[in-house]
Amino acid sequence: MVLRRNKPNQFSRRPEIIDRTEKRQSHNAVNLRPLKYIYYFILAGAIVYVVFFSSIFKIKTVETEGVKSVEIADYINISLTGRNILFFMPGKYLGELSKKFPVLSEARIVRGLPSTIKIVLSERKQVLVWCSTSCVEVDSFGFAYQEVPRPTDKIVLDDKTGVPVKVGDRVVSTQFISFYLSTLEELDKMNIKIIETRVDETTFKVNFKTSENWEIIIDSSESQKNQLSALKQVLETNRADVKEYVDVRVPGTVFVK
């Protein structure tokens, strides 16, 4: 018996897929870059407007602390109101302020964003009145800070050299001021009333004129304690002999006239 293998039907075979293509749908591409540039331009313009031209950062409130003078307070308020707080330079402003008002000794500025400025000030304190061609108030550091009429209700220190003194000049040292003020205090404790004081050539020699019309001559560069001790001994034993002055500048020797 012969078996025959049937030949496969050539039409029944599954064809191979050699290539397959898909038709892609095309879209119109949109370039967003110009829109991005426009956005950044608008943002930058808004920032510039807010910072430079709007009223947000313009100073509206000015607070002062420690100032006694109405003139100074008014000047600060007028000169700061409306300025741009972001571009305000405190150091430069304080320099101009102290130059215009020498009475100010210290100042600092606190910025409160967006529109508030606070200035804390301290004014110089007068410790003596120095009179030469004119009279000036002098602070504890020896600086002349304000010209004044010659006072009649306090002791002034007369400079007989006649050297002109301008506001802002340093007239004397802090050591001299300390010596001078403490000497006045000690003489008051000794019940000696001083009505005038003066320097003739230098601040080393200081004359204190008493209410009895005689003078005490003291050297500000020597020991105050030793000189006042010598003065006290003379007044306890020879006060009646004092007519014009008691000079205690030379250690161990007292000149009486």
- What is the reported pLDDT for 248? 96
In which order are the strands placed within the sheet that holds 128-131?
144-148, 135-138, 128-131, 156-159, 194-199, 205-210, 215-219, 245-247, 255-256
Tell me how far apart the alpha carbons of residues 123 and 114 are, in angstroms, rounded to a whole number: 28
pLDDT digits (tens, 9 = 90+) for 113-157: 898 999 999 999 999 999 999 999 999 999 999 999 999 999 999
Confidence tier at 44 by pLDDT (50, 70, 90):
confident
Contact 94, 105 (CB under 8 A): no
Q: What pLDDT, on a 0 to 100 scale, did the predictor assign at position 136?
A: 96
Predicted confidence (pLDDT) per residue in 76-123, tens digit: 999 999 999 888 899 999 999 988 999 998 889 998 889 899 999 999
CATH code linked to domain 61-123: 3.10.20.310
- Is 128-256 in CATH node 3.30.70? no
In terms of pTM, does the model score above 0.75?
Answer: no
Domain with CATH 3.10.20.310 in the chain: 61-123
42, amino acid identity: I
pLDDT, one tens digit per residue, over 211-254 is: 999 999 999 999 999 999 999 999 999 888 999 999 999 998 99
| Model confidence at 1: pLDDT above 50 | no
Q: Where are the alpha helices (DSSP H) in the chain?
A: 33-48, 70-80, 90-100, 174-189, 224-238
CATH 3.40.50 location in the chain: 128-256
